[in-house]
Amino acid sequence: MKTTGMALWSVAGLMTAALLLQGCGSTAAKPKATNQQKKSQAAAQPQDFRGPLPALDAVEFLTADQGFVAGQGIVLETSDGGQSWTRIYGGSQTITSLAFVATSSGYALTSGGQVLAYRGAQWQSISGLPGSASAIWLSGPSLGELLTTKGTLYQAVGTSGGWQAESLKGVIAACFQGSRGWAVTGGLKAAPKVWLTENGGATWAATFSPGLTAAGDWSASVAASGTTAWLLFTSGSGQLEHQPYVAYVTHDLGQNWQEVLGAALFAQQGMYPAAPQSLYGLQAGPLAGDALNAYFVSWQPGSPNDILAITATADGGQSWHQMPVQGVAQTATPYFFGPLGFAAPSGGTLWLVGSRAGAGRMLVSHDGGLTWQAPTF
């Protein structure tokens, strides 16, 4: 299964994060529910969903058939690849990212930085978090990683609660697959650097310094599968509707990195000569990838009706191509400059969710981004 990394972006809310706190809240006496909590719990009872869609922010698929989408006051689940959907949360919170371990066990991150745990048909807020969370990940059978808005990674202490700050500071992106994790540090006064952990965040080793200056104000996204990791950096120093970006890949756990794609501020600068001319003039968004395939969402400045596109490679980064999001009306596509959720579960299936004019938009492609469909409700 392809995995999607999580990033802190200035113009688009991104992808999927996970946290497992096994047994959290199960050893203490259960507090008496308030009227509002009772309403939220009642709303969490699974119900067939018929629409219309509210604004959407997040999508995650465990398999090609089993997936979830979320957004303004809603979490939907499908078990048949999106042919039908069930509402498993309906409340006042806006859900910005999802992390499901199984169909009956998962987590949701709210726009206010709170973590909600899902057990069966009940949602409960996890207390004792060290500040507002900006991302959460699964990093072991009973341990989780939490990234706060100040760029500090925290690790859950056992299964009974509590959090311990890790040594990494200024984290701008991360991705975990069990105990193996990747993190990118950087900021306004620090050039980006890439780190690897093999023990759930207990220790980290620097694996790569891309050579990007701190002046670029880089945001980052990372996606990983096995020994492969993909990095996508986007500069905040864009002009004329374009932002410089550069992508890297490692296929050997960070021993060797290769720049595989990039574009400078202007096409003739040649800052990243590996970039095909056809890939200049876009803005880079959410990233997903596995051992050979990688995809990121992009917007083509100056294109008719602001067409979204998918930039993709199917050979480990040796060659890239762009595909406009086509097959659906432009009004059915998400707006790029807002929260976007992107997932690539398997076999060339891609999911893209977001909003346009305040209403949710959901698209699926079963041919690697060549054509798209908008599910009906």
* Predicted TM-score (pTM) of this structure: 0.81
Distance between CA atoms of residues 250 and 255, nearest Å? 7
| CA-only gyration radius of the chain, Å | 20
Do the beta carbons of residue 256 and residue 317 sit within 8 Å?
no
Distance between CA atoms of residues 19 and 23, nearest Å? 12
Do the beta carbons of residue 207 and residue 195 sit within 8 Å?
yes
Identify the structural domains of the chain with CATH numbers, from first to last.
3-365 (2.130.10.10)
pLDDT truncated to tens, each residue of the chain (377 aa)?
444 444 433 223 323 322 222 222 222 222 333 444 444 443 456 788 887 999 999 999 989 999 999 999 999 999 999 999 999 999 999 999 888 877 878 888 999 999 888 887 789 888 788 888 888 776 655 557 888 888 888 887 765 567 888 888 899 999 988 889 999 999 777 889 999 999 888 899 999 999 888 777 888 999 999 999 999 998 876 555 567 788 999 999 999 999 998 776 544 444 444 445 445 556 677 889 999 999 999 876 666 656 788 989 999 999 988 888 989 998 899 988 888 999 999 889 999 999 999 999 999 999 999 999 999 88
Structure tokens, 264: 């400078």
101, β-bridge pairs: none
